[in-house]
Amino acid sequence: MEADQPIQRSNEDRFSRKQFAQRIARIVATREVESGIVVAIHGPWGEGKTSVLNMIREELDKQGQVLVIPFNPWYFHEELQLLSGFFVEVARRFDESLQTRGEKLGSIANQYADLLTLIPKAGEALATIVRKQTAKYAKCDIDQLKNQLSRILSNSSTRLVVIMDDIDRLDQSEIQTVFKLVKLLADFPNTTYLLAFDDERVSEALKEKYGSIEASRSFLEKIVQVPLSLPPTSKQARRALALEGLTAALKLADMELSRDESLRLGDIFDKAFLNRILTPRLAKRFGNALMFALPMLAGEVDIVDLVLLEAIRTFYPELYIAIRGNPEVFLGSAFDPLSAMNENEAKEHIETTIKSALAVYSESDKKAARIVIQDLFPRTGASGVFRAGAYSSPFNERWAKNKRVAARDYFWRYFNYGVPSNDISDRDIDGFLERVPRTAVTDLTGEFKNLSSNDRTNVLIEKLRTREDELPADTAAVLAMVVTRSGNELPYSHPTDRFFGLATYSQACALIRHLLQRMPDQAARESLALEIARCIEPLPFAFDYSSAMRRIEQASYPDEKRSVVSETCEAEIEAIIVRRITTLARSEPIERAYPPDAQQFYKLWASVSKETLKEYLKRRIEAHPDEAAEFISAANGIDASSETSRDWAQDLGWFGFICELASPDQLLRALRETYPELSSAEYNFLASDAMNNKERAARWFQRLREQDLGAVIMPDSEN
């Protein structure tokens, strides 16, 4: 990281100011007039005034009979200290460097400083102090001392150059004191005062004392005989300094831009930031920001996005604060379907936020800033064209895959300078994938568990999905088995969420499917697919896997039109899962082991081996009539162990499906045996009172059976 330090010598000059500094130095060293003179170099903060002073001093050191005395007013926080300190420093340096005619400037200067420190005092205090000093200065009053100092300086062949820098960084009272000091001492012979300050800031600081900015400037004009404006730096020189910092930061982070990244960065950077690199200091600050950010986020974010965002932080700080404080605006969340705003309200909210963030900038800067906003956050429509609908799910997936700041899962990395605790490092993911081909599945399963700890399994699956189409076949095959073996680490979700692809199970199964597709050998692919079906746990995950392996014909997913395995293999996968369901059912009713999944399990069982399911139900109800209502409730997709006020009066539900699997008469006999009151009780189907679902299912089935609806066709499997 480059310290924000001025250059020390002219051979370090990057902004063509060497000649300017040398010209000032030669004039100061060779001017023939012996009277004192005050030269001021004006320029804003960060523009390079100190660097110019250093080059002037370098040139003065080459001249004969010139003594340069830098005096830093920052070291003195009170007026008396400043006045006294100045004379002590000048005298010390003068006496150390020069030979005089037997008189030491230090002794006289110290006496002069003592008397000067009395000047600010007032009233009786002044009279008392003066009386006490009478004996000490009986032979030498203040005018005499000043004359002695002037004579020594005049008789010396040496020219004294006093340099004062950073005056504009002092507080208001200290600035006033510095110029009071200069005014008192400006007429010493053979002495040049070389001051560097921002004249706008100094004029503002003196305004209180002199009444107005105009009066402050008039005061400065009386003190400063030679005001010089710092030669401006070129845009291209400042740009080169900024990009030099970028290059150094990339090297430190061991990162390299691709050709496309370089083209994108160069295009956006010049359009958005060239006019905002106002000073060399800002250019250095940008480089230092990157020296900090790039190594910390290497491999975790999009490199160009990070550089552009750090440029915003440096050159448009108000905009950076707005982005960090309003992620919903810049990520386009206001356009999401669940947002409380309609599209027009969302547009207005986004535009108002951007306008407010850019209010302090010029019109040209506002236009430039919108270029980089549009590039980083397309959904804002910052360029004036709102395309919120165009940047929907596929774009978000692409942004996440490329680690862009516009991706919700990556946004905060750019501001936290690290990976949030609920996220997973992409470098860790990369390291894990690199080890996959040469590491045992058991060890990899342990790594998978560690990576997904702290409820981050869904994050891990999502990140693996972004890489699924890039993995070599050997890696894909091993990873498919690792995900399979890690099923018990995945959070369980309701079948409805899984059906719509919203659950981790669904995403994990889609990942396995795509990983199998990476295997070019059909026989090896199908062999692994069958092995996965035999060992995948838990059973709901296995069921979702069998669904994911079916042929997909959805036109909106052209890459999914072909099957992963043959129809024969597909059928064998379902048969394996059904055998596992059957094994479970022999030891425990399905609806007790997996209440939300029971209906889907029964459907799959029926589609693969209806006769074995019918035989199972016949034996079960004969042996346990009290379980008939439990089965009916589960077959309707209702948790039999819970209570509900659902009205089943006109709901045919899965009545036909149930009647295909079990004898309606057998079921009705079992229900009446369990609930004797069914044959005589009146049941108000419109009642809202909660009732145990098994009893409600029993009453529902009896009503439909009595209405002779046993011939109802089984509902479509997709309903």
Do residue 490 and residue 573 come from a single domain? yes
Decide if 597 is inside a domain: no
Decide if 714 is inside a domain: no
- Residue 328, CA distances (Å) to 325, 366, 451 in order: 9, 21, 28
Q: Which of 354, 314, 356 is nearest to 332 (CA)?
A: 354
- At residue 396's C-alpha, the angle toward residues 473 and 254, to 5°, is 65
Q: How many domains does the chain have?
A: 4
**pLDDT score for 590:** 96
Q: Does residue 549 sit in helix, strand or coil?
A: coil
CA distance 401 to 416: 20
What is the sign, positive or negative, of the torsion defined by CA atoms of 703, 707, 708, 712?
negative
CA distance 305 to 289: 14
Q: Which helix (H) or strand (E) holds 42?
A: strand 37-42
- Residue 69, CA distances (Å) to 194, 546, 680 in order: 10, 86, 114
**pLDDT score for 344:** 82
Q: Which of 113, 177, 120 is nearest to 145 (CA)?
A: 113
Q: 599: alpha, beta or left, given left = phi > 0 and alpha = psi -120 to 50?
A: alpha
- Least confident piece of the model among 24-38, 370-384, 700-714: 700-714
Give the distance from CA 6 to its chain's centroid.
32
Residue 202 has pLDDT above 80, yes or no: yes
Do residue 286 and residue 375 come from a single domain? yes
Instruction: Average the pLDDT over 132-154 and give the result.
Output: 57
Do residue 580 and residue 639 come from a single domain? no
Q: Which of 531, 506, 526 is nearest to 516 (CA)?
A: 526
- Encode pLDDT of 253-292 as tens digits: 999 999 999 999 999 999 999 999 999 989 999 999 999 9
**pLDDT score for 314:** 97
- Residue 302, CA distances (Å) to 67, 244, 246, 293, 370 in order: 55, 20, 15, 12, 20
Q: Which of 131, 139, 92, 135 is nearest to 113 (CA)?
A: 92
Q: 372: alpha, beta or left, given left = phi > 0 and alpha = psi -120 to 50?
A: alpha
Do residue 653 and residue 676 come from a single domain? yes
Residue 505 has pLDDT above 90, yes or no: yes
CA distance 178 to 201: 14
Do residue 510 and residue 537 come from a single domain? yes
Q: Counting Cβ atoms within 10 Å, is residue 532 exposed (0-12), middle (13-18) or buried (19+)?
A: buried
Highest-confidence range of 603-607, 640-644, 698-702, by mean pLDDT?
603-607
Residue 597 has pLDDT above 90, yes or no: yes
Q: Residue 39 carries which DSSP code? A: E
- Encode pLDDT of 445-502 as tens digits: 999 999 999 999 999 999 999 999 999 999 999 999 999 999 999 999 888 888 878 8
Do residue 177 and residue 57 come from a single domain? yes
Domain harbouring 187, CATH code: 3.40.50.300
Give the distance from CA 497 to its chain's centroid.
30
CA distance 495 to 574: 18
Per-residue tokens: 377: 């956050």
Do residue 25 and residue 129 come from a single domain? yes
With residues binned 3-state (H G I as helix, E B as strand, rest as coil), the percentages for the chain, rounded to 5, are 65, 5, 30
Do residue 209 and residue 302 come from a single domain? no
More confident residue, 677 or 240: 240
Confidence of residue 676 (pLDDT cuts 50, 70, 90): confident
Do residue 96 and residue 220 come from a single domain? yes
Residue 187 has pLDDT above 80, yes or no: no
CA distance 316 to 328: 20
Question: Among residues 416, 450, 483, which one ends one of the domains?
Answer: 416
Question: Among residues 416, 442, 472, which one ends one of the domains?
Answer: 416
**pLDDT score for 174:** 82
* Rg over CA atoms, the chain: 42
Do residue 315 and residue 438 come from a single domain? no
Question: Among residues 191, 213, 229, which one ends one of the domains?
Answer: 229
Residue 516 has pLDDT above 70, yes or no: yes
Q: Does residue 228 sit in helix, strand or coil?
A: strand
Residue 650's domain comprises 610-706
Do residue 555 and residue 622 come from a single domain? no
Instruction: Average the pLDDT over 150-163 and give the result.
Output: 80
Confidence of residue 55 (pLDDT cuts 50, 70, 90): very high
> Which residues are within 8 A (CB) of 137 and not within 5 positions of it... i.e. 6 or more apart?
111, 115
CA distance 713 to 719: 13
Instruction: Average the pLDDT over 407-428 and give the result.
Output: 93
Residue 337 has pLDDT above 70, yes or no: no
**pLDDT score for 684:** 55
Q: Which helix (H) or strand (E) holds 40?
A: strand 37-42
**pLDDT score for 518:** 96
Asked if 460 and 425 touch (Cβ cutoff 8 Å), the reply is no
Decide if 566 is inside a domain: yes
Residue 137 has pLDDT above 90, yes or no: no
CA distance 238 to 228: 21
- Encode pLDDT of 530-553 as tens digits: 999 999 999 999 999 999 999 876
Decide if 603 is inside a domain: no
> Which residues are within 8 A (CB) of 440 and not within 5 positions of it... i.e. 6 or more apart?
none
> Which residues are within 8 A (CB) of 249 and not within 5 positions of it... i.e. 6 or more apart?
287, 290, 291, 293, 294, 295
Q: Which of 327, 195, 318, 230 is nearest to 13 (CA)?
A: 230
Do residue 302 and residue 409 come from a single domain? yes
CA distance 557 to 551: 12
Residue 435 has pLDDT above 60, yes or no: yes
Mean pLDDT of all residues belonging to the chain = 84
Q: 134: alpha, beta or left, given left = phi > 0 and alpha = psi -120 to 50?
A: alpha
> Which residues are within 8 A (CB) of 668 and not within 5 positions of it... i.e. 6 or more apart?
701, 702, 705
> Which residues are within 8 A (CB) of 704 and not within 5 positions of it... i.e. 6 or more apart?
652, 655, 712
Decide if 525 is inside a domain: yes
Decide if 363 is inside a domain: yes
**pLDDT score for 4:** 59
CA distance 646 to 301: 50
Decide if 69 is inside a domain: yes
Confidence of residue 101 (pLDDT cuts 50, 70, 90): very low
Decide if 599 is inside a domain: no
692 φ, ψ (degrees, to nearest 5)? -55, 130
Longest alpha-carbon distance in the chain: 135
Q: Which helix (H) or strand (E) holds 162?
A: strand 159-164
Residue 75 has pLDDT above 70, yes or no: no
Going by their DSSP bridges, the two strands 66-70 and 159-164 should be labelled as: parallel
**pLDDT score for 12:** 84
Residue 53 has pLDDT above 70, yes or no: yes
